[in-house]
Structure 1
């Protein structure tokens, strides 16, 4: 049986309205009762995630910012990774041919250049909010990651521009169909989970993980049991065709799968 379970949030553990369902919460508590370590691995900020964990009264490790930070049960930073200043400076100041909005993250929060109220929908239950700022004035050594949000085709063209400009100095990743991230080299959820599991004295084979987007690819491929959501990006399913696909996040499929795994481990699983 797995000793650690890692969960992506948006499109995986959260329903489409960005809430945790009651069945999901109950199942997470059952895992803790079985002494299975919980880890939430998300692109969201720790300033948003920590209050959620405290509200649910769940002991859980946090991998935030798509692997840029790993936090202990008590909120201490166990591992950190930031964009190199030269990359941050170039991304912030170059003129990119895109209509996408740019967003900067560091330990102090989420920053963007103009108000985009519709982006706050995904954070309506937590109240987490961007801070308006001239992004070009943010010191390059204070940038953890940079995100571009917009139309997928536009972002796909932008990713080519970024790849040509940055080469192997950064890691580019689609954390959602409408979100392209510029991350530190070697930074991803899988690398962060490897650090955490080693700290806990576990192997990656003793871990299980759930995800739906390309920022989950490394994590899902490295654990002993990787599960892909039915609503996952087509690119992720194509990249990991050998992994089982479970149901949709709107049906709390993670809870459905884990309940079967806990109660009927010897029987084949069939998505709801």
Structure 2
């Protein structure tokens, strides 16, 4: 069994209503009892994740903002990356041919330019919400990541525009079909997990990781055992065709898979 287990949150560990299932929580506690270190690797903000894991008394390292921050069990910042100010300035002040909404993140939280109530559905249980700000007035030296949210085809066209302007100065990825993220160059969950594993003295070959979107690709490809959700983006399955695909997050498939590994590791696995 692995020594370090990394979990994406939305679409992976959380059910479609963005809550932990009881079976999932029970399995996470089983891992902890087996001295398997837990880390939640997510696009969500650390302020929100502290609230979520605090509600369930879960001891876990946090990789948040899609690898822009790593926090210890005690809340200490182990690693941090921000967008280069010139990149943030270009994104914030250029005119983009898109209908997508823009969202900016830094250590103080989540900022956007207009009320978008439907964006809060994924955060209803944590109470985490955006701050309304004039994004063009934000200081470019204090931006961790920028997201555009909207129609997938529109975001694909926007990605072409962003690539033409930013080139190799930023990392672009889809954290969901309706969310395109602009991250610091070289920043992703896999790179962050490598930093954490070195900090813990655990080899990446001793890690297991679960994910469902393209922002999980590097992490799943680097660990000893990467596992893809049945509800994952087709692009992720195509990018990592050698990895096993398990069941749907609505059925708490991560728990089902891990209980099989813990109880019957020598038997073949069949998704629930």
Tell whether the structures are fold-level matches, with TM greater than 0.5: yes
In the alignment, what sits opposite 2:197? Answer: 197
**Secondary structure, in 3 states, of the residue corresponding to 1:6?**
strand
**Secondary structure, in 3 states, of the residue corresponding to 2:181?**
strand
In the alignment, what sits opposite 2:65? Answer: 65
RMSD: 0.4
1:54, distance to aligned residue in structure 2 (A): 1.5
1:239-250 aligned at under 5 Å gives the runs: 239-250=239-250
1:221, distance to aligned residue in structure 2 (A): 0.2
* Residue 116 in structure 1 maps to residue 124 in structure 2: no
In the alignment, what sits opposite 2:251? Answer: 251
Alignment length (residue pairs):
272
In the alignment, what sits opposite 2:171? Answer: 171
Q: How far apart in 1 are the matches of 2:54 and 2:111?
A: 25
Q: How far apart in 2 are the matches of 1:56 and 1:264?
A: 27
**Secondary structure, in 3 states, of the residue corresponding to 2:205?**
helix
Q: Deviations over 1:150-209 (max 9, x none)?
A: 000000000000000000000000000000000000000000000000000011000000
In the alignment, what sits opposite 2:267? Answer: 267
**Secondary structure, in 3 states, of the residue corresponding to 1:186?**
coil
**Secondary structure, in 3 states, of the residue corresponding to 1:267?**
coil
Q: How far apart in 1 are the matches of 2:42 and 2:94?
A: 28
Q: How far apart in 2 are the matches of 1:249 and 1:258?
A: 13
1:1-272 aligned at under 5 Å gives the runs: 1-272=1-272
Q: Which runs of 5+ in 1 are unaligned?
A: none
Q: Deviations over 1:100-157 (max 9, x none)?
A: 0000000000000000000000000000000000001110000000000000000000
1:53, distance to aligned residue in structure 2 (A): 1.3
Show structure 1 runs of 4+ deviating over 3 A.
none
Q: How far apart in 1 are the matches of 2:138 and 2:90?
A: 12
**Secondary structure, in 3 states, of the residue corresponding to 2:271?**
coil
